[in-house]
Chain A
Amino acid sequence: MILQINDLNMYYNRLQVLKNLNIELNNCNSIAIIGASGCGKSTLLRLLAGIEYPASGSISINRLEINQSTLRQYQQHIGFVFQDHNLFPHLSLKENITLILEKCRHETPEFADQRANDLLESLQLTEQADKLPRHVSGGQLQRASIARALSTDPDILLLDEPTASLDPILTHEVLKSIETLKNSGKDFIFVTHEIAFVQHFADYYIFLDQGEIIEHNPIGALINPTTPELTNFMQRVSY
């Protein structure tokens, strides 16, 4: 993926949450956005998904600038996984996938059914397929929402702290499922607190602190931080 961010600024009311971000990346498959809570990483991801609009500056992904006119076209090619699963509560896990394929992507019911079955199987959710979201575990919900995000065959998958609300065992379960997607030819941008997972899965990291990009490097550099902020952060996240 090719990611370009120019002079990006974002405010919530008067509070500036992102300050003049600039970055240009070529040929990255998997970008991790890391930083302490409140540093603006989720905001950046939401801007990257086009869920919110920046106050100023521009973002382009794969040479397509995200703005009002390209948004629909752009969002056809991404999948988004939220911190909380956000499945539609009145539909079974499978219907959550088939509804979107049939109604929004105008696929045939047979195709949607087949695709949902395949995805749920690949994420080990076949047994839960017909259950309502409230009847399955947090890890299964999160995997189901990954399945839903994948259902439209996106080029880029954005994950916003997909394991933040899970216990360590369920976290492991979800991260393992994400790992199996690594060779699927998709690109990933994700926000997470699981540094071990970042080191294992990402090939590039962007470190944010108080709304500014402090460091961005290929993942190998993460163990030898050059800035005091990242050194401090790494010390705090590891024991």
Chain B
Amino acid sequence: MQNNTQRSYPQEMFSFLLACLFFICLIIYVIIRVPTENFNIARVFHYNNLLWLGIINTIIISLYSLIFGLILGFILYITRESRIYFLKSLANIFIELMMGTPLVVLIVITTFFLGKAFSINNNYSLGVIALTCYIGPYMANMLKSVIDSIDKQQYIIMNLYGFTPYQRYRYIILPQVIRLLMPPLMNNFSYTIKGSSLLSLTAVPEIYYYIKNIQSDTFAYTEGYLVLWGAYLLLTLPLTILTKYIEKRYAL
């Protein structure tokens, strides 16, 4: 069974390049079919200082949101598993509410209502808060599904030998789940990166915000979106490669 599914490296590489070729052909076809006399992508790259600034801001916002989102997710996970029904309900209501909220609405509500109510005037921080709240419930669900995959009898063993909560997570649970955790974690990270584009609504200086400015300056609308697409791919593709590497590194 296993031998049938194993392919040699050159064969795999060939298939991969063939698949790349397919997409390149598709793109070439589209370029040939679409009139391009006014197409000039250089107009966008003329502003490459702004583009880099936007990319860096996007990375910073996403990183903050991911870290805070993971912390929020862990807190939600713990409170939802809690025996105190009040805490459990708080977490459940929050998760259900967030799961049903479009990111766009969440950003607007955070910035124009919560920001005013709690006197936070920095749109940058408010954006991070919105993204954190948005991604936190997904993180909580991810942690739940991954931690649930640990055999119940291992907990009996841990009880029997009197592991402390810290020891449980540090020595038994975390090492087993880190490999399982990587793919959904990276998925959530790429959601966060792409979701951050909506922060342009509230004038947070991330990449889409600058692209919008460049677009209205140069009227290079389609070109702007293509550059934006390239910028997001530049951020998300390395993540995929990193995930594959970590999965291999922690493979059992």
Contact = CB atoms under 8 A, between A and B. Distances in A.
B174 to A, nearest CB: 10
A75 B153 contact: no
A101 to B, nearest CB: 10
Interface string A115-140: 00000000000000000101000000
A51 B163 contact: no
A90 B171 CA distance: 10
A80 B153 contact: no
Interface of A: 49, 51, 72, 75-76, 78, 80, 82, 84, 86, 88-90, 99-100, 103-104, 132, 134, 152
Nearest to A83: B153
B163 A89 contact: no
Interface in B154-189: 154, 156-157, 159-163, 167, 171-172, 175-176
B32 interface: no
A100 B161 CA distance: 7
B160 A80 contact: yes
A90 B252 contact: yes
Contacts of A103: 163, 167, 171
B151 interface: yes
B172 A134 contact: no
Contacts of B157: 86, 88
Contacts of B160: 49, 51, 75, 78, 80
In this complex, the member of A86, A103, A132 whose beta carbon has the largest number of chain B beta carbons within 10 angstroms is A103
A152 to B, nearest CB: 7
A84 B161 CA distance: 18
B162 A104 contact: yes
29 contacts: A49-B160, A51-B156, A51-B159, A51-B160, A72-B162, A75-B160, A76-B162, A78-B160, A80-B160, A84-B153, A86-B151, A86-B153, A86-B154, A86-B157, A88-B172, A88-B176, A89-B252, A90-B175, A90-B252, A99-B171, A103-B163, A103-B167, A103-B171, A104-B161, A104-B162, A104-B163, A104-B167, A134-B252, A152-B161
Contacts of B172: 88
Nearest to A78: B160
B95 to A, nearest CB: 29
A134 B176 CA distance: 14
A218 B63 CA distance: 69
Q: 6 closest Cβ contacts across the A-B interface?
A: A104-B161, A86-B153, A90-B175, A90-B176, A100-B161, A103-B167
Nearest to B157: A86
A104 B136 CA distance: 33
A45 to B, nearest CB: 12
A34 B169 CA distance: 38
Nearest to A80: B160
A82 B159 CA distance: 14
A78 B176 CA distance: 27
B252 A132 contact: yes
Given A51-B156, A100-B161, 14 more contacts: A49-B160, A51-B159, A51-B160, A75-B161, A80-B160, A82-B153, A86-B156, A86-B157, A88-B154, A90-B252, A103-B163, A103-B167, A134-B252, A152-B161
